[in-house]
């Protein structure tokens, strides 16, 4: 869980993650990376850990903000489970969707699975520009890598740990998403998707991704293809 200035949301999303009842007697290990926040994010995480001593939670802090990708790379060093899924430090997604994702991963012996915000019947989007940008990203990924996905930029990317750790990741920011999609596809994996719930927030509510990040993502997809 990479987080940057999420003091108002971090405890709520940590609580949701820790309360998910996973199938097959699996347990949750939560690695929170405070990516150089200037607010009380780390303090809120420590408070949560103190109140939930029975949970496997680790806090790691970057002294300066480096970006989502850097936070994920840091967290990978501490992951010990069989499967990894990315969870942002806000409340836009519902961690209960992990249950269906894990079931599909295990039952079908998958190595990678994406949760698509656009396969769900509600198809929520924060704006028309957001919807267009995500469709363009998915189209680009499908065209360049022979995929058939609807939500390349989804946060809920689930991997078998051995696969994700076998990839050399370089990107520091939101371009982690297209980088990992490109490198997984180049290894020959076909990425499957399942519908997930999505509750978009506005920039005023703390949403950090911007239009320029979409263009960076497209450039990243092209870069790792050629």
What are the pLDDT digits (tens) for 32-58? Answer: 999 999 999 999 999 999 999 999 999
The full DSSP string for 109-159 is T-SEEEEETTSSTT---S-HHHHHHHHHHHHHHHHHH----S-TT-S-EEE
Residue with more model confidence, 203 or 184: 184
Q: Give me the pLDDT at residue 132, please.
A: 84
Indicate the helix (H) or strand (E) that contains 29: strand 29-35
pLDDT cut 70: percent of the chain above it: 92
Over 60: is that where the pLDDT of 205 sits? no
CA distance 125 to 199: 8
Q: Give me the pLDDT at residue 17, please.
A: 98
What are the pLDDT digits (tens) for 123-161? Answer: 565 567 778 889 999 999 999 999 999 999 999 999 999
Angle at 113 between CA 104 and CA 167, to 5 degrees: 135
Over 70: is that where the pLDDT of 103 sits? yes
Which domains are seen in the chain, by residue range? 2-225 (3.90.550.10)
Q: Give me the pLDDT at residue 10, please.
A: 97
Q: Give me the pLDDT at residue 214, please.
A: 80
């Amino acid at each position: 869980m990479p987080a940057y200035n999420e003091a108002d949301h971090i405890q709520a999303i940590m609580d949701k993650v820790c309360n998910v009842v996973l199938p097959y007697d699996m347990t949750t290990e939560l690695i929170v990376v405070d990516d150089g926040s200037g607010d009380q994010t780390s303090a809120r995480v420590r408070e949560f850990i103190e109140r939930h001593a029975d949970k496997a939670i680790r806090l790691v802090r970057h002294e300066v903000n480096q970006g989502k990708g850097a936070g994920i790379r840091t967290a990978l060093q501490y992951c010990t489970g069989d499967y990894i899924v990315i969870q942002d430090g806000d409340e836009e997604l519902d961690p209960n969707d992990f249950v269906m994702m894990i079931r599909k991963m295990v039952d079908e012996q998958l190595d990678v699975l994406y949760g698509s915000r656009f396969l769900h019947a509600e198809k929520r989007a924060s704006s028309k520009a957001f919807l267009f940008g995500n469709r363009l990203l998915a189209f680009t990924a499908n065209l360049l890598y022979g995929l058939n996905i609807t939500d390349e930029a989804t946060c809920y990317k689930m991997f078998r740990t051995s696969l994700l750790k076998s990839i050399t990741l370089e990107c520091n920011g939101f371009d982690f998403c297209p980088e990992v999609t490109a490198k997984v596809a180049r290894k020959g994996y076909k990425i499957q998707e399942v519908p997930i719930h999505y509750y978009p927030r506005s920039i005023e509510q703390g949403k950090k991704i911007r239009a320029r990040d979409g263009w960076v993502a497209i450039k990243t997809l092209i870069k790792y293809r050629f």
